[in-house]
Amino acid sequence: MIALNNRLAELELVIAVIDGGSFSEAARSSGRTASAVSKAIARLEQRLGVILFHRSTRQVTPTEAGETFVERGRTIVAELSALERDMAKDRPEGLVRIATSAVYASFILVPLLNRFHAEYPAIGIELCLSDRVSPLAEAGIDLAIRAGPLPDSSLFTRSLGKVELINAGSDAALPFFGLSYARADTKWHRQPPPFLADDGATIIAAVRAGSVQGFVPRFAIADMLDSGYLSALDPTQTFTEPFHIVYTGRAANLPRRVEIVIDFLAQHGRVG
């Protein structure tokens, strides 16, 4: 059995002979010697059991069998070229806009970008960072990473697991730093809260600096918990929040680039 790539090469060689009008012209266009072209055509004719070319000292012309072979062969080559172009169009490329918090981006997503780029170099990612939840379609967002319970909606979701949140600090006497916007769990809030922010990354930075206490994801302070610089100030206040990828439209209707990012994050971007 002749390998498919060799058979295609033979077909292209026959076409080159006809287009060039001689073995020498086919040799120049294919990067072979005229002798190698002649021998390759002879082997093909022997395998097919037909003569493809009339040979003379001055020219090479196709036989009736040769003309039929080339006519159908051109169709095959053209269809293969069209298939390759169509596949290239389906190759995932373009920009995917992700709405996420600075916390998830900094600690989970950004460390994965180099790996993602190595696997999908034609797909770009734009991070739109905010703890606030905004409608995906209105903001031109392809997908979002959201923490906490999800309200009933038309959005589709993929789970990223659950993160453990710890009221941590270097000293229990430090002031509490809380979120300035409503969250489902009341543990996020103290009355009166000395400090407020609408960005969880700011609270993490302050807790890591040793200037406040506050609820932070375990993955954001794991190194400091291990070193003993920070501790869980009240283990009974530890709780969990789910993380999800949310997006509009069923997976079957998503652009391929968006589907790839969702699958990649679901596999590698879990919080727990």
pLDDT band at residue 114 under the 50/70/90 scheme: very high
Same domain, 222 and 260: yes
pLDDT of residue 139: 64
Q: Give the global pTM.
A: 0.63
Give dist(CA 260, CA 251) in Å, integer.
Answer: 10
Number of residues in the chain:
272
CATH number at residue 62: 1.10.10.10
Q: Are 143 and 248 in contact (CB under 8 A)?
A: no
> 211: number of CA atoms within 13 Å, CB side?
9
Name the range with the highest mean pLDDT among 60-64, 83-87, 262-266. 262-266
Q: Are 168 and 231 in contact (CB under 8 A)?
A: yes
Same domain, 209 and 228: yes
Enter the tokens of residue 220.
């954001």
Closest CA to 14 of 56, 82, 48, 79: 48
Single residue among 54, 69, 89 that ends a domain in this structure:
89
Taking only the tens place, the pLDDT of each residue in 193-228 is 788 888 889 999 999 999 999 999 999 999 999 999
Single residue among 59, 89, 119 that ends a domain in this structure:
89
User: Cβ of 24: how many Cβ atoms within 10 Å?
Assistant: 16
Domain carrying residue 14: 4-89
Q: Are 212 and 174 in contact (CB under 8 A)?
A: yes
Enter the tokens of residue 233.
């100030």
Number of domain units in the chain: 2
Closest CA to 70 of 53, 83, 47, 54: 53
CATH number at residue 261: 3.40.190.290
Same domain, 124 and 251: yes
Same domain, 44 and 98: no
Same domain, 60 and 160: no
